[in-house]
Amino acid sequence: MKNLGNIEFKNDFVSNFKGDESGSKKPRQTPGMFYSKALPTPVEKVTLLAWSDELANELELEKPDNQKDIDILGGNFVLPSMKPYAACYGGHQFGNWAGQLGDGRAITLGELVTSKGKKWELQLKGPGPTAYSRRADGRAVLRSSVREYLMSEAMHYLGVPTTRALSLVSTGEPVMRDMFYDGNAAYEPGAIVMRVAPTFIRFGNFEILASRGETNNLRQLIDWTIEKYFPHIEGEDKIIKWYKEVVESTASLMVEWLRVGFVHGVMNTDNMSILGLTIDYGPYSFVDNYDLNFTPNTTDLPGRRYAFGRQASVAKWNLGCLGGAILPVLSNKEELVKVLDTYDDVFWKKYYAMLGNKIGLDSVSTDDVVLFTELEKMLASVQPDMTIFYQLLIDFQPGIGIDNKQEVLDHFNESFYDELSTQDEEILYNWLRMYSERIERNTISKDEASTKMKATAPRFILRNYLLHQAIEELEKGDDTLFKKLQHAMKEPYSNAHDEFFKKRPAWASQKEGCSMLSCSS
């Protein structure tokens, strides 16, 4: 275990690629460059608000006990071995090519290599402007930083691939934000999260090079990505093999999001990790009631492009953008299209396997597809609280008294947001009958089925209203709820935190910041 201040950082990315070394923060296009050097802008006072002990253990880091080390977490102190930079990338935003974007408020400090040889990039989010900040300030507010810090760690404990968060610090500086884009800008406390991932490379890093016709740079980035992060891939056809792996890991990620009910909210290609990690936590939310049209992002409202039920198909669209970007270095376009088209197979196979576990089936065959399709239709119509519904299903004893319709329906009462219509009662009951019949043919015991279900369906999720309450209290200096949530998120499959095993309360369904969020962060 080492102190942050004693680490000798590596800088593989900057030593391998061409960057703009001027250090200038003037907003600009940087053609020909993979990054621009960017030093964090010091803040008033860095105060440690949260530290992830388990992640720190993995990184072999001691919790900082002196101001100098804490200052590193807020950008007030940069070690001599760090070569801080902002990456240049582009992206398709809401379906349109947006050109150069880049790290406008993220700065990668360097790479930490553990004694086991594992490499992690350490990146500050909110450390001040870079060449890619355009007209914005490069800062982040406490509200959004708490959301990123808690949720990225919560996703990790849920078993969903994600970037991590090592620390959360306040900056002692106010940051001006127009939270609802309604002209009522106000100051909010500033904060910085230290994010950690093997790499933060996004689809957009490849897209920007392709859009600029920088084919040699594109080939260099692809070769490097494969060598560093997909070292098992070799041979003449390594690029297409690599693309196939990205297609697969992205499909897996979508299944995982659907499993836990996560809605990212801004699935632009600049927010798609090349490693299939959840990245860039902004106006995200878990679904409470099972609404396929739910989008947590106010900016996404007109089209609901990034709604809960659209994520899987948007991911494929995004993979198409990545495919288009790497095309210049591939000789065979048909093959690329074929690989992209495997997405659906991969997705559905994994999705059905996941659903099978979630409802406690011994195994999944094509005969079960009807049961899954009807389950989806039922959930979309009845719109129970997704998390609570699956928990109640674990205790449901199908077969015993299945003919007693009222009793069967009453078992799920706790998950309903409204009284069910007669039609929805019918839909739910019919599905449960179908499910009971299938469960009777299960070759595993009820206990074994329950174990599967409990391992797949989370019992604790970080609901938006809980985050909202925790943030409001933190801003007043009370960290009680924040600490409780930090504890609960580490055991999402246990019933040890059942004080939070509740539907979203009625007051939260329309309240700003509880159901809908803006990108302003």
List, by residue number, the catalytic residues.
Answer: 270
The residue within the footprint of ligand AMP, chosen from 50, 150, 246, 266 (CB under 6 A), is: 266
Quick check: 207 binds ligand AMP (CB under 6 A)? no
Counting Cα atoms < 13 Å in the Cβ hemisphere of 371 gives 21
Choices 134-142, 144-152, 210-218, 234-242; region in contact with ligand AMP by CB under 6 A = 134-142
Q: Which is nearer to ligand AMP, 120 or 132 (CB)?
A: 132
**How far apart (Å, rounded) are the C-alpha atoms in residues 473 and 480?**
8
Beta-bridged to residue 164, according to DSSP, are 196
List the one residue out of 463, 468, 462 whose CA is nearest residue 179: 468
What is the DSSP track for 283-345?
Answer: S-EE-SB--TT---BGGGTTT-TT-GGGHHHHHHHHHHHHHHHHGGG-S-HHHHHHHHHHHHH
**How far apart (Å, rounded) are the C-alpha atoms in residues 370 and 430?**
13
Helices 480-488, 464-475: axis angle to 10 degrees equals 140
Residue 287 touches which of Mg ion, ligand AMP, none (Cβ within 5-8 Å per kind): none
Closest distance between ligand AMP and the C-beta of residue 98, in Å?
Answer: 8
Quick check: 137 binds ligand AMP (CB under 6 A)? yes
Closest distance between Mg ion and the C-beta of residue 98, in Å?
Answer: 11
Helix%, strand%, coil% for the chain, nearest 5: 45, 15, 40
Closest distance between ligand AMP and the C-beta of residue 469, in Å?
Answer: 24
List the one residue out of 131, 140, 55 whose CA is nearest residue 86: 131
The residue within the footprint of Mg ion, chosen from 280, 300, 385, 424 (CB under 5 A), is: 280
Closest distance between Mg ion and the C-beta of residue 254, in Å?
Answer: 18
Residue 214 touches which of Mg ion, ligand AMP, none (Cβ within 5-8 Å per kind): none
Q: Which is nearer to ligand AMP, 136 or 337 (CB)?
A: 136
Return the H-helix or E-strand segment holding 194.
strand 186-197
Quick check: 103 binds ligand AMP (CB under 6 A)? yes
Closest distance between ligand AMP and the C-beta of residue 136, in Å?
Answer: 3
Q: Interface residues for Mg ion in 485-514 (CB under 5 A)?
A: none
Category of 464 on φ-ψ map: left (φ > 0), alpha (ψ -120 to 50) or beta: alpha
Closest distance between ligand AMP and the C-beta of residue 324, in Å?
Answer: 20
**Location of structure tokens 């809960």:** 308
Q: Which is nearer to ligand AMP, 41 or 456 (CB)?
A: 41
Q: Which is nearer to ligand AMP, 84 or 138 (CB)?
A: 138
What contacts 64, CB < 8 A, 6 or more positions away? 3, 4, 5, 48, 51, 70, 72, 73
List the one residue out of 350, 348, 371, 347 whose CA is nearest residue 359: 371
Q: Which is nearer to ligand AMP, 37 or 139 (CB)?
A: 139
At 127 the three-state DSSP class reads strand
Q: Which is nearer to Mg ion, 276 or 384 (CB)?
A: 276
**How far apart (Å, rounded) are the C-alpha atoms in residues 98 and 437?**
51
Exposed / middle / buried, residue 420 (Cβ in 10 Å: 0-12, 13-18, 19+): buried
Q: Which is nearer to ligand AMP, 167 or 271 (CB)?
A: 271
Exposed / middle / buried, residue 187 (Cβ in 10 Å: 0-12, 13-18, 19+): exposed
The residue within the footprint of ligand AMP, chosen from 64, 84, 127, 138 (CB under 6 A), is: 138
The residue within the footprint of ligand AMP, chosen from 139, 156, 212, 438 (CB under 6 A), is: 139
Task: Give CA 284 to chain center in angstroms.
Answer: 8
Q: Output the residue with the shortest Cβ distance to ligand AMP.
A: 104
Q: Which is nearer to ligand AMP, 284 or 352 (CB)?
A: 284
Question: Under a CB-based contact definition with an 8 Å cutoff, are residues 100 and 5 in contact?
Answer: no
Q: Which is nearer to ligand AMP, 139 or 244 (CB)?
A: 139
Residue 360 touches which of Mg ion, ligand AMP, none (Cβ within 5-8 Å per kind): none
Q: Interface residues for Mg ion in 243-272 (CB under 5 A)?
A: 271
Closest distance between Mg ion and the C-beta of residue 87, in Å?
Answer: 11
- Count of residues touching Mg ion (by CB under 5 A): 2
Q: Interface residues for ligand AMP in 270-289 (CB under 6 A)?
A: 270-271, 280, 282
Question: Under a CB-based contact definition with an 8 Å cutoff, are residues 392 and 412 in contact?
Answer: yes
Closest distance between Mg ion and the C-beta of residue 188, in Å?
Answer: 19
Residue 104 touches which of ligand AMP, Mg ion, none (Cβ within 5-8 Å per kind): ligand AMP
Closest distance between ligand AMP and the C-beta of residue 224, in Å?
Answer: 22
Q: What's 40's DSSP letter?
A: P
Quick check: 105 binds ligand AMP (CB under 6 A)? yes
- Count of residues touching ligand AMP (by CB under 6 A): 17
Choices 99-107, 307-315, 379-387, 417-425; region in contact with ligand AMP by CB under 6 A = 99-107
Quick check: 207 binds Mg ion (CB under 5 A)? no
Counting Cα atoms < 13 Å in the Cβ hemisphere of 201 gives 22
- Residues contributing to the site for Mg ion (CB under 5 A): 271, 280
Per CB under 6 A, residues contacting ligand AMP are 101-105, 132-133, 136-139, 266, 270-271, 280, 282, 519
